[in-house]
Structure formats: C-alpha cells, structure tokens
A and B are shown apart, each in its own frame.
Chain A
Amino acid sequence: MFGDLSALDLLQAVTDGLLFGATYAIIGTGFALIFGVMHKINLAYAATAIAGAYISLAFAALLPMPAIVVFLIAAIASGAVGYLVYITCFRFIPTTSPLATLMATVGMLILIDEVIVHETDGMPQPYPALFDNVMIEIGNFGLRGDLLFIFGLSVVATVALVVFLYRTRLGVATRAVAQQPVAAQLCGISVQRTNATTFIMSGLLGGLAGAMTAAAVGTLSPLLTLPITVKGLIVTVIGGLGSIPGAIIAGLLVGMFENVALALRDVQERDLYVMLLLFLFLAVRPMGIFGKSAARD
C-alpha cells in the first residue's frame, strides 16, 4: 500500500499535514464558535475569511508593509465582514426560521464570491509569502518555515480565543448565551450584542486563517471558498458540534490525513479519502470527537 514511500517521507507528509491542518483547525473553530453560540450554520464563513484576505491584499497594494501587518489587516477586515454577515443574515431574520438564515448565508456566500470575482476579474492574486525558502533541515527531513509560523500563529490565536472565552466578562456572556439565551437575557446580557461579538470574533479568526491559507498556497482565488467551506464543515462535524477543542483536533487530523492521502495517492483522490474519514466518523462516532451524545436521535 505504501509503495516506495519510506518512513521518512511518511513522517514528512504527516508533519506537513499537521502544520497545514492548523488553518483547518482555525476555520473549524470559527464554525464551532458560531454554531456553539447561535446553534446555526454560517455557510458564508469561509467566504468571510477569503474576503478578509482580499481586503488585506488591497491594503498591501496601496503601501508596502511587512507580511505580519497584512495578516492583522486580514483578520480585522474579516471581522468587519463577519459583522456584516451577522447583520444581513442573522439579525433581522427570526430565530424561528433557521432555514431562512441558512439560505441567506448561502446568498451572502455567493455575493461575497462574486464581489471578489468582479473586483479581480476572476484572476488569482499572488499573496505575500512570509519567509520564502526558510527551511529547518534535519538530514533529509525538513520543516517549511512559513508552515511552522502558521502553526505558531494559530496556536496563539487559539490561546487568545480561550483567554477571551474564559477570562473576560464578554467571554462569560458569550458562554452564557450559548448555554441558555433566555436565562442570559434575564441576567441583563444583550443577546444581540453577544451574538454580534461572536461573529466578529469568528471573523477575526477566519481572516487569519484565510490569510494563512493564501500565504501557504501562495495565491488567493475565489475558488478557495467552496472547498474551505466544505472542509470547515467536515472539521466541525468530526470534532463534535460546537466544540472548540474538537474542532482543533479534527482540523489537525484532517490536514494530516489529507496530506498523507496526497502522498500515497494523488490529487484527484485526496478529497475522496477525506469524505471516507467523515463517513467513518458518522458511522462509528456520529457525535464527533467531543460532541455530546444528545446530538444523535
């Protein structure tokens, strides 16, 4: 089965996959955050992330700046787009119509994608790489510097998110709304504002992930949104609905699995194996890694 793949190549594939999986972990965390708080799916989320990366690119074209600033701009812009998605798709649609919200986010996904296509004439844009050709080499085994940085950045982002959720008043409010919106409201928490904050937070994460994906791939294209959306959903399901640690582990797992499948087979078959992994989880553990068993009927 492994063909002429040596143990070292396999280790290399696993490591690269784990490092790249960090972006999936971040995207999955964003989905999980929104799902955890609002119990709704935001299908425009990956589009938000890509939109943030595009906006940062527009700023980078205006005046030269270091790549890390571009990343930060991407995160902030994506937070703003996330707020816009909240306003257009969640704020005014009654909670009793979850399907309408779902459809509105699909509309928003199409809208954001088309705005990008319209502005860039559908051409993929080069994205500034962080460190070109930085490799940490140990014999034949190498670590790509940019992937390592991306991994580090996503660890920082995750820690920041956990600190926000567990150490700040707004984080407590967010968790309260997630648990029991009516009770939270009775305690004087504004549900609308908390939900909006959740969207901004997940937008910040998404923008970071969008920029990281673009930096790792080297180009930014509106074609990225659909695969990222599907991958993000798969990560959320494998990790367990609304579970942030689950999303992180599942993201790393999917990234690793995908890269190993890529090394063993080829590009066309890669996604098929990810689907198989999903089916395996749905069959064996339908509630995901950290999900509650109540998710199953």
Chain B
Amino acid sequence: MQFWYGLAQLIGVHTILGLSAYVVLQTGQVTMAQAGFFAIGAYVSGMLTTIAGWHIVPALFIGGATAAAVAAIAGFPALRVKGLMFVVATIAFGEAVRLFWFNFTYQVQQGAVKVGPQGGEGFKQIRFFPANGWTDLDRAIFILAVMAIVMAGVWWLDRSRAGAVLRAVGEDDLAAQSVGVNLTAVKVSAFAIGGFIAGVGGTLYSHYTTHIEHANFGVVLATFAIAYPIVGGLHNVFGTLAAVIFIQGFLVEGLRFLGDWRNLLFGFLIVVAMNVSPRGFVSVYRDLSPYWRRRVYGGAIVTVVLVLAGETAANEIVAAVEGVLGNTGLEYNHMAWIAFIVVMAGWSWSGLAAAVRLLPAGLRRLSALLRDAVGGSAVRRPRKAA
C-alpha cells in the first residue's frame, strides 16, 4: 500500500500545481512562472517549519501568501505584455527565482545538524512529517484534503461572477475591457491567486519530499504546470485532476516498467492526446452521450477496485511461484498493472469495452454484471446473444 500512498501524495501536489496554472490560463495567459511560485512556497514554508519550528498549517498559509505577494508584484510589469512575450517573460522570471534559491544560504544550528537552505546543495531535512510521527496514510490524507479544498475553491471561483470575468478576459480581452473590466486588476488578481495556490502546492511538495533543490523548479516543472490544465481542459477543475492522473499516474509512474521506452512514449502520447482532444479531456467527456459518461465513472471505479484487488492477487501469485521455485528474482510490478488497467479502463473505457467484446461469452457476462453493478445503466445497447 505504501506505493499507493506515495502516488496519492504526488497526484495531490501536482494537481494543486496544475490548478494554480489553471486560474491564470483562464485569463488567456500562458504562464511559465508557476514553478517559481511553487519554489517560493516550498522554501519559505520549509524554513518556517524547520528553523522557526512552526506547524505545517500556518506555514502553508504563509508559504502561499509569500508566493501570492511575489506574484502580485511580478504581475504588474509581466502582465503588460501578452502572448509569446508573456511566455518568455515568465520563463525568465521563473529562472530568476530558481537562480535566487541557487545562491541563497541561511542555515541555523539545531542540535547536531545545521538546517536551512544551502545554495546549490539544496534544502535538506525538512522533517516536519517524520518528526511529528505522521504516517504515510496521514500525509496522503492531509495532502488530498488540501487538494480537495483548493479544488473546491477554484471550482467555486469558476462558478462565481469573478470566474466569469476571468473567462471573459481570456476569451477576448478587448471586448472585456470595453464592457468596463479593469484588465490589469483582473490579470494581476488571477496571477496572485495562481501564485497562492502554487505556494501551497510547493509547501506540500517540500514537506513530502523532505529535500528540495533549485534544479527541481526549472522550466520542465513549469511546463508540467501548464500541461495539466491544457491536457485536462479549461472547462472545469476535474480536467486538471484527470490530466495529473494521466500524466503522473500513468505516463510517469505507470509506464516505469517500460524503462527507456517510457520516455519515448511520454512525448508521443502528449501529442496524441492533444490531437484527439484539443480542448482537453473534459471536453471529450462533455461530448459523450450519457451512456458513455456513465461508463467513464464506471471505468474509474472499476480501475480503483481492480488495482487494489490486483495488487493483492499478484502478490499472492508471486509468493506462490517463489514457494515452488525458490527465489526466482521475480518481482511484482505494480506499474505493469496500472499501465494495463488505466489504459484499458480509465483513459479509454471504450477500448476495454471493445476488448471485452472479443473475450469469450462467460467473461463478457461477468463484465456486464460488473458494469451493471457500478454503472447501473437504464439504457442498454442491444447485444447479440452469446
């Protein structure tokens, strides 16, 4: 189970990072500065918990607030430019933040060790969780709870009048301006909100990895931050979550068993995803008929159940084989399971349906039962008798 708790934490942190970019993307600005705000949150809150001995919850707020303040200050000049200029300006800003932490050292003697950020060496020993005896499950619950709060907040923002204003600016800023929207105020607020969320994500990130260094917060992380909402779609926050699960859960962790080939497949699948769903996963989901929509939730639930059952079962099989053959060096690879199941069920439920149709009748019956159990559909497509 350890692995799944770790994956849950990873997904929680990256979803928060993705949501921070989501808010800014709503205003039509492609921001590459989110990794910088993430770094600010990570370092500031890390210093608060290790050096000042704070609890993580206030550190979370201060980390977020610092990042928001920097975002607001950086936002005024940066938001005077648009489009490609903004992309390049925010890349430069993110790199400047990274280089700042690269050169920043502030260490304090604590007992036998010195704690605090140490320039290029990074910031080690952010041990709030282990020092306070939080188990992996506690951390996973905490991080997912924060993620849920942030998601709910952004979801509410989307629904509110403020969200409508953000989208209006994103769709056509000239039109928005001509109906009296103050563009600078809107863009800077969106940037500050994005900065706050990224700072919160950074806080969770530094405490969950316990060791951060400047290289973690480069252009690559900034690209990931905007990749989540774009791949997921800018219609609602669940797209970002789905994209994080697709990218981190499946492409990064799930395909690990492919070794070197994983990296090749990573870029390729991003290209494919953008060609298949240019407006993001959410828009694909929205275009589905209710019948297929139920299959998508069904697929998600079946995925979770199968993954959990599959791990136990596979461990048993490996144990049984080793019981007969001695130590074979066979190792149960969870990743192969996620890869298979997520591809088949979560990401492309219709793929699973097609595969199921090819299986013998008994198996088909079983899957129909399973689908009825989780989907509970009233509309059944006519099937040929077995």
Residue of B30, B83, B95, B274 ringed by the most chain A CB atoms within 10 A: B274
Report Cα–Cα, A122/B272, bound state, in Å.
Answer: 25
Q: Of B96, B264, B278, which contacts A118 at CB under 8 A?
A: B264
Determine whether A11 belongs to the interface, using a CB cutoff of 8 Å to chain B: no
Determine whether B216 belongs to the interface, using a CB cutoff of 8 Å to chain A: no
Q: Chain A residues near B266 (CB, 8 Å)?
A: 107, 110-111, 114
Find out whether the CB atom of B30 lies under 8 angstroms from the CB atom of A295.
Answer: no
Given A104-B271, A279-B92, A236 contacting B30 (CB threshold 8 A): no
Given A99-B25, A234-B88, A282-B89, A275 contacting B278 (CB threshold 8 A): no
Find out whether the CB atom of A41 lies under 8 angstroms from the CB atom of B219.
Answer: no
Residue in chain B with minimal CB distance to A279: B92
Find out whether the CB atom of B80 lies under 8 angstroms from the CB atom of A286.
Answer: yes
Q: How large is the interface on B (under 10, 10 to 19, 20 to 34, 35 or more residues)?
A: 35 or more
Say what secondary structure dominates the interface of chain A.
helix
Q: Of B91, B96, B226, B263, which contacts A117 at CB under 8 A?
A: B263
Determine whether B355 belongs to the interface, using a CB cutoff of 8 Å to chain A: no
Determine whether A115 belongs to the interface, using a CB cutoff of 8 Å to chain B: yes
Residue in chain B with minimal CB distance to A89: B271
Given A99-B30, A275-B96, A237 contacting B85 (CB threshold 8 A): yes
Residue in chain B with minimal CB distance to A297: B82
Report Cα–Cα, A283/B89, bound state, in Å.
Answer: 10
Q: Which residues of A in the span 223-272 have a Cβ within 8 Å of any Cβ on B?
A: 226, 230, 233-234, 236-237, 241, 271-272
Q: Chain B residues near A237 (CB, 8 Å)?
A: 84-85, 88-89
Report Cα–Cα, A230/B230, bound state, in Å.
Answer: 21
Q: How large is the interface on A (under 10, 10 to 19, 20 to 34, 35 or more residues)?
A: 35 or more
Say what secondary structure dominates the interface of chain B.
helix
Q: Of A35, A230, A279, which contacts B219 at CB under 8 A?
A: A230
Find out whether the CB atom of A35 lies under 8 angstroms from the CB atom of B30.
Answer: no
Report Cα–Cα, A278/B89, bound state, in Å.
Answer: 8
Find out whether the CB atom of B85 lies under 8 angstroms from the CB atom of A108.
Answer: no
Find out whether the CB atom of A286 lies under 8 angstroms from the CB atom of B85.
Answer: yes
Given A282-B77, A283-B77, A102 contacting B267 (CB threshold 8 A): no
Determine whether B270 belongs to the interface, using a CB cutoff of 8 Å to chain A: yes
Q: Mark B85-116, 1 if CB is under 8 A from A, else 0.
A: 10111011001100100000000000000000
Q: Of B85, B95, B271, B275, which contacts A295 at CB under 8 A?
A: B85
Determine whether A101 belongs to the interface, using a CB cutoff of 8 Å to chain B: yes
Determine whether B183 belongs to the interface, using a CB cutoff of 8 Å to chain A: yes
Given A114-B263, A286-B81, A100 contacting B270 (CB threshold 8 A): no
Given A94-B278, A275-B95, A296 contacting B81 (CB threshold 8 A): yes
Q: Which residues of B contact A (CB under 8 A)?
A: 25, 30, 77, 80-85, 87-89, 91-92, 95-96, 99, 173, 183, 219, 223, 226-227, 230-231, 234, 260-261, 263-264, 266-271, 273-275, 278-280
* Given A102-B30, A282-B89, 11 other A-B residues pairs in contact with their CB atoms under 8 A: A88-B275, A89-B271, A93-B275, A97-B279, A104-B270, A233-B91, A234-B92, A278-B92, A282-B85, A295-B81, A297-B82
